């Protein structure tokens, strides 16, 4: 059974010399639980619904699993996601 395809924000840096073909991703969800582990995303044409970056579900994704780049978020939005990751991991 194929899993649901979920949009995600790639938060790892590009590294052509990485020892593994992995990226760090924060999945997006339309469900908002109102916690500090979620970042409200701006409305953009490539997301059908209001979306939230789910920091609790941060994961690694193999490069061959990345299907299609839909767009790019502004640096301020990526900063909010990184701040939430730092808060969640206490780093």
Give me the domain span that covers residue 35: 8-89
Total tally of structural domains belonging to the chain: 1
pLDDT tens by residue, the chain, 91 residues: 456 778 999 999 988 888 999 999 999 999 999 999 999 999 999 999 999 999 999 999 999 999 888 999 999 999 999 999 999 999 9
Q: Domain with 67 in it: what CATH number?
A: 2.30.30.110
Dihedral sign (CA 18, 72, 86, 39): negative
Residue 57 lies inside a defined structural domain of this protein: yes
Residue 82 lies inside a defined structural domain of this protein: yes
Q: What is the pLDDT of residue 2?
A: 58
Residue 49 lies inside a defined structural domain of this protein: yes
Calpha distance 61→42 (Å, rounded) = 23
Residue 60 lies inside a defined structural domain of this protein: yes
Strand partners, 8: 27
Residue 52 lies inside a defined structural domain of this protein: yes
Calpha distance 78→29 (Å, rounded) = 16
pTM for this prediction: 0.88
Residue 56 lies inside a defined structural domain of this protein: yes
């Amino acid at each position: 059974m194929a899993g649901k395809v979920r949009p995600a924000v790639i938060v790892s840096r590009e590294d052509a010399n990485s020892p593994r073909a992995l990226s760090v991703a924060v999945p997006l969800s339309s469900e908002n639980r109102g916690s500090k582990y979620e970042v409200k995303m701006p409305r953009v044409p490539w997301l059908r619904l209001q979306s939230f970056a789910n920091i609790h579900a941060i994961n690694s994704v193999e490069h061959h699993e990345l299907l299609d780049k839909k767009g790019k978020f502004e640096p301020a939005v990526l900063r909010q996601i990184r701040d939430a990751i730092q808060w969640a991991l206490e780093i």
